[in-house]
Amino acid sequence: MCDIPVPIDGEEKIVRAITSGSVNKTNTAIRPRAFRSRPGADEVSVIRQTFTGSDFCKAKGRERADYVGLAVLHAGQIRKAGSEVIDSRDEYCGHAHISHGIVAPPPHEPLSPQDNLALDKKLDALRSAARYHPDPDPGSEGWNGPAL
Amino acid sequence: MKVYTPFANSAQPWSFPNDQTASLIYWTPTSYSRALLYEYPVALDAIEQAAMSQPNWDGFGALPINTETKNNAINAINSIMAVAPAPEINPNPNGTLSFQWGTPEGTAHMEIGQTRYSFYVSPRVGEAILFEGDVGSVHRLHGGLVASLLFPPTNSAPTMTPVRFGTDV
């Protein structure tokens, strides 16, 4: 039973698990593609940190290959960037999706230029709004970095 | 009197006026913002590195870059860098490669896929210019748009080189 409210308040903290493919070489900043949808979908998996806590976010992050840190932003910042954040508890309690409203192209083919232009503006806004925290010890259990 | 002519076989030999000598002024071309030679191997290496990525390279199910997309990207970058500065090169989760430029004048993005490409250049002022099509149709024109809109020539004083030709030598 999931007792987290379905509506996501603008002040809620939303966390995206970051992997090595989405940061710069020194692991100090995320790249815009950290918020790009997975193939064939308009969904970016995120976690509702306000309700689940930082340790839970890290545990979910460690399920990903090459996990290196967590990026945090408020739900209101996601909406201000022009995207939507929606509860998706069918994955697990505390899971949500960021949706950019752009239909995914077929595998190995590009987005249309109109969609790329719109998506790039959203990704850049999300990248700018997000606070990235590299994990000081990705291999350990529990979040030992600064408060999210 | 020997007459200088720059056109050896022209029917109307060109001559200086009666003052025997003349000064010509050669203007250097406006600044040309193509990639530097050392940037080619760096860009090609970035494409090769991206093409070696494994499935799920981002931990969220990303597709690897296949051989067709890699070869398309190499052909495209060779065309574009002949007239534009080197872009930032990044793989995308969808198995495509992106070339991106950003300056205070605006942004540009070319995404290369297995059979198609898409391109936009969005200047700080004015409407974005959009192109898409068969990946084989990527042309220097795209790089030219990037160079002219995002890397405009600076207004430095042109170099003037006076050249004097002697006659009756």
Query: What's the pLDDT at B12?
Result: 39
Q: Is B121 on the interface with A (CB under 8 A)?
A: no
Question: Are the Cβ atoms of B113 and A110 closer than 8 angstroms?
Answer: yes
A115-123 own/partner pairs: CB under 8 Å, 24+ apart: A116/B109, A116/B111, A116/B118, A116/B120, A117/B109, A117/B120, A117/B122, A117/B128, A117/B130, A118/A82, A119/A36, A120/A32, A120/B107, A120/B109, A121/A82, A122/A35, A122/A81, A122/A82, A122/A83, A123/A32, A123/A33, A123/A35, A123/A36
Please give the residue of chain B at the shortest CA–CA distance from A40: B94
Lowest mean pLDDT among A63-72, B24-33, B85-94: B24-33
> Domain range spanning residue A67?
13-132
Mutate: best of A108, A111, A123, A128, partner B, most B CBs <10 A? A108
Q: What value does the mean pLDDT of chain B take?
A: 79
- How confident is residue B158, by pLDDT bands cut at 50, 70 and 90? low
pLDDT at B26 over 80: no
Angle between the N-to-C axes of helices B39-51 and B67-80, in degrees from 0 to 180, rounded to the nearest 10: 160
Does residue A3 lie within any of the structural domains? no
Per-residue pLDDT tens digits for A70-128:
999 999 999 999 999 999 999 999 999 999 999 889 999 999 999 999 999 999 999 99
Task: Give me the DSSP letters along A59-119.
Answer: HHHTTSTTEEEEEEEEHHHHHHTT-EEEE-TTTSTTEEEEE-S-PPPPTT-PPPHHHHHHH
Query: A123 contacts in B (CB within 8 Å)?
Result: none
Cβ neighbours of A90 (radius 10 Å)? 8
Does residue A141 lie within any of the structural domains? no
Q: What residues does A23 pair with on adjacent strands?
A: A30
> Which residues are CB-contacts of B46 (< 8 A; sequence separation ≥ 6)?
B89
Total domain count, chain A: 1
Query: B114 contacts in A (CB within 8 Å)?
Result: 108-109
- How confident is residue A40, by pLDDT bands cut at 50, 70 and 90? confident
Query: What's the pLDDT at B17?
Result: 43
Query: What's the pLDDT at B38?
Result: 75
What's the rounded mean pLDDT across residues B119-130? 95
What's the rounded mean pLDDT across residues B85-108? 94
Query: What's the pLDDT at B161?
Result: 75
Look up the pTM and report it: 0.81
Q: Is B71 on the interface with A (CB under 8 A)?
A: no
Per-residue pLDDT tens digits for A18-27:
999 899 989 9
Does residue A50 lie within any of the structural domains? yes
Does residue A77 lie within any of the structural domains? yes
Query: B69 contacts in A (CB within 8 Å)?
Result: 108
